[in-house]
Amino acid sequence: MATLAKYQKFLIKQAPRIETVESWLRQLSLVIPGRFEDSDFVSQILVAVLNLISLYHDSLLWKVVARHAAVITLPSSLFNRYTRHWYREPKFKRIALTLTLVSYCEVVAEMWIKKNYSEKTRWRFVVWLEALKALCRYQLFKISGGRMLLHPSHPQRDIDPSTLELAEDSSDFDPRTGGVHYHSNEAEQQWDHPDQLVLPLQGLAKFGEIAWIVRPLVYVLAVRRFGFQSWKAWTMSLAVDLTSRGLMRSAFANRKEGSMTPLEADEYGRRAYLLLYYLLRGPFYQHFTKPRIEAFCDATETRPVASIIAGAIRDYQPLWEDVFFYTAGS
């Protein structure tokens, strides 16, 4: 415990530098693939470790905020206001953190199993992990009262490290004067309660959200049944995705309270972006995307600037071709 306390104190004092180091290491992880044998695996290990460390750092930073809640009011995004509201529910927090940890480690875990075990074992692992994620999301859906699930399931870092250092330094911080206060902007103040940031889904919208929750599991089960290069598996997954979007869009259009809230609109847009992963999956990638990528890389490999882009694409090809979770969008 003494060691953790010392590390927490060090973290607060060095928070700006630690953020810089985290950022630098993330950039390093982007250029590692393709540089040496097993570089893809090493890069994903680095990404996973950095994500886990950042999550731990966030928990320590927020403990400091909680200790000085009476004298520090930090600005909070709409997303964090909503997520922290539900984090007060212990069961929600446990499940949300489980989902976060799984999402951080799933690519590395799959790559390790692929290196050391059979394909059958690998796909069995993928199925069970997608089943676990679907179960976690469904539980979050129920606990939140049938609201649209946001990504990620944990609060994001929006803390000014210099403010925390000031609060921790008793010689510079005077609680009688209130110290340093920050206030949310007016756009955030219009929401009286976090419950209003994401509203309960009604009617067909609930089925649309459940369809989105089970879509990754449907896809991987179809892959197990028909094969990774099967159009049936690819089409089934896309059909579930589009059905989910259609039901949600229709329900939002007919909502009595009006259209989507800002957080719902952001999440709906994020899910639209995830549809691009279908370009890198299964038969569509093999028959349409890959030939065009190969043609582009071959045509630009001797050109000064374009060759850098082509080289980066070739470095990342093994990841989206061989690792299911890299393009799973789940």
Written as one string, the DSSP assignment of 107-152 is: HHHHHHHHHHS-HHHHHHHHHHHHHHHHHHHHHHHHHTTSBPPPSS
> Which of 172-186, 207-221, 238-252 shows the lowest per-residue confidence on average (mean pLDDT)?
172-186
Across the range 5-20, mean pLDDT stands at 70
How many angstroms separate the CA atoms of 47 and 250, rounded?
Answer: 38
Query: Within its chain, how far is the Cα of 316 from the centroid?
Result: 19
- Taking residue 25's Cβ as centre, other Cβ atoms within 10 Å add up to 14
How many angstroms separate the CA atoms of 320 and 281, rounded?
Answer: 8
> Which of 48-52, 175-179, 270-274, 300-304 shows the lowest per-residue confidence on average (mean pLDDT)?
175-179
Q: Let me know: does 267 contact 208? Beta carbons within 8 Å.
A: no
pLDDT of residue 159: 67
Classify residue 37 by burial, with Cβ atoms within 10 Å: 0-12, 13-18, 19+: exposed
Residue 122: which of 135, 132, 109 has the closest Cα? 109
How many angstroms separate the CA atoms of 165 and 173, rounded?
Answer: 9
Q: Let me know: does 131 contact 172? Beta carbons within 8 Å.
A: no
Instruction: Give the pLDDT band (50/70/90) at residue 171.
Output: very low
Across the range 146-164, mean pLDDT stands at 80
Instruction: Give the pLDDT band (50/70/90) at residue 173.
Output: very low
How many angstroms separate the CA atoms of 105 and 127, rounded?
Answer: 15
Is a pLDDT exceeding 70 seen at residue 237?
Answer: yes
**Which residues, 6+ apart, have CB-to-CB distance to 25 below 8 Å?**
46, 50
Is a pLDDT exceeding 70 seen at residue 261?
Answer: yes
Output 225 or 11, whichever has higher pLDDT. Answer: 225
Is a pLDDT exceeding 80 seen at residue 217?
Answer: yes
How many angstroms separate the CA atoms of 221 and 215, rounded?
Answer: 10
Q: What's the mean per-residue pLDDT of the chain?
A: 82
Is a pLDDT exceeding 90 seen at residue 25?
Answer: no
The strand pairing partners of 200, in sequence order, are 147
> Which of 51-60, 107-116, 284-293 shows the lowest per-residue confidence on average (mean pLDDT)?
51-60
pLDDT of residue 184: 42
SS3 107: helix
Residue 159: which of 253, 21, 65 has the closest Cα? 65
How many angstroms separate the CA atoms of 265 and 186, rounded?
Answer: 19
Is a pLDDT exceeding 80 seen at residue 21?
Answer: no
% pLDDT > 70, the chain:
81
Instruction: Give the pLDDT band (50/70/90) at residue 73.
Output: low
DSSP 202: -
Output 239 or 166, whichever has higher pLDDT. Answer: 239
Q: Tally the residues of the chain.
A: 330
Classify residue 192 by burial, with Cβ atoms within 10 Å: 0-12, 13-18, 19+: exposed
Q: What is the pLDDT of residues 112-127, one digit of tens each?
A: 999 999 999 999 999 9
How many angstroms separate the CA atoms of 101 and 129, rounded?
Answer: 12
Tell me the whole-structure pTM to 2 decimals.
0.84
Is a pLDDT exceeding 90 seen at residue 149?
Answer: yes
pLDDT of residue 26: 75
Across the range 12-37, mean pLDDT stands at 71
Q: What is the pLDDT of residues 283-296, one digit of tens each?
A: 999 999 999 999 99
- Taking residue 13's Cβ as centre, other Cβ atoms within 10 Å add up to 15
Is a pLDDT exceeding 90 seen at residue 77?
Answer: no
Instruction: Give the pLDDT band (50/70/90) at residue 68.
Output: low
SS3 71: coil
